[in-house]
Chain A
Amino acid sequence: MQPGSLILSTMARLLLPLQLLFSIFMLLRGHDLPGGGFIAGLVASSAFILYLFAFGVPATQQVLRVDARTIAGVGLVIGTLAAVPPIFIGEPFFKALWWYPEIPLIGEVSINTPLIFDVGVYLTVLGSVLAIVVSLAEAEE
């Protein structure tokens, strides 16, 4: 794939961090407002795809640092692990657990297994979509 247009490459460089931030925002608010792991994963992957179109495969892989397939694998592991904790307190597999620890300066935060699971979904979707697009783009070059 030929890196081309100046406008595209400038925009891609600017948009990548913004879009990633936005995707994390979508991920975290998903439980109460439109969003969630799946959507956030798609947003994040489109950020990288835009970068890919602007700068080509090697540059994108440098930004990613890890192989896309690894990201998907880590996502699957996290998603599966999120189902495990309830077993230790005698609850069924995948029963949602919620903690509200107090953290100085920030106040009460919520840590819960559905969110961990959603992070797994996020990473799996991101990794899978990127793996597909990157391998197709590579085949083209």
Chain B
Amino acid sequence: MTRTRTPGISRRSTLALMGAGAMSVAAPWVARAQAKTIKIGMPTILSGRVAQLGTSSRNAVMLEVEKVNAAGGLAGRQIEMVIRDSKGQPQEAARVARELVNTDGCELLLDGEASSGSFAVHEVARDLGVLCVHTCSEASSLTADPKQHIPNAFRCVRQGIHDSIVGGSYAAAIAKAKGLKKWATCSPDYAYGRDTTGEFTLYLKRFAPDVEIISESWPKLFQPDYTEVVTKILQAKPQALYSCLWGGDLTSYIDQANIYAMFSQMEVFAVNMADYTALTVVKNLPKGIHSGNRYIKTFPTTPENAAWGDAYKAKYNEYPTNWSWQNATAVMFLAEAAKKANSADGKKIAEALKGLAIKCPFGADGTVTMRGDDHTLVGYAIGWGTTIPQEPYVPEVKAGDWKTIFELEAEWKKSKGYT
């Protein structure tokens, strides 16, 4: 009997086509898995008034990535950074983040924008399931609120609630010593500004119950002129002022407040002052502004921190910023987590990151930890001091106590219904 071939596609051909189809669909993933390099996407602010912070983030990341690559990369894969400008706009940050993953083939996301855009990027990470390490947003709710929690997002940033506990207790001690009962606040009108100011005043009042907030100002983010805000505060005649303005907004505010002699009329607590981005830009830096440490190479007072600050300056001819150390720490975490997981796979790195403690120049005791239950950074050096107009700018910093921070943070989470 002679076998005749039926017209059309044979079973073998059909299977081959199906196989080829499946391969073509899976090709990007297969190609990514086999790629020697691993692309990390970084949506950050490279234009506008806070571009200096975004640039300093990129610089710090590149500094650390060079070290990681020289040591063999992430589990043997060399890191290739793909850095895009989010322009500080939430919708643009989300768009860029999505494009970095879907179009550029990035397997991890780093940075995730300031608080104005971090929640948008967070949702992109939730949607795409890609590992995202936030390195700029300090809004406490980003990781503290269980509704925001996703297994693939971490935050390697100081947190507003930590700053507020340390800042509130520091400010309360000064308030009690100097009799500062009438306070005003002036902070940017967005998540970080509202959250941080609320938390600071919560702890200020807790430790100094006599304190009264007599005036609040909420200028919009990147507002060019603060004259009406400055005069409003002067009218209220507070004895002390708290502000979490930052970057160019803070320097504008200081320049404008300076000519009203505001700094001689009240004690000023500006949590974001002690960062080189503000300290070196303000031409007439007032003496005696109270500030939390952001990045200064003299706190923590360790050779490792000073060496890191000097290495950054040697490479980029300027000092790093608060965003620099946070981004650098995130790269250190990724490298250690990949080593622990023996893999560059995002899910495995995420698992390894939970509860991971690493040696770090910015740790209060030389180490920092990525806390497992809420995926946030703890153990970093945190403290407050007063400014002088030349280096070291904040000669003495009073360090916060992490035991107290943990206790009060747990209490705060409970009060917010987060636990």
A-B complex is real: no
Give B residues with C-beta under 8 Å from A. Answer: none
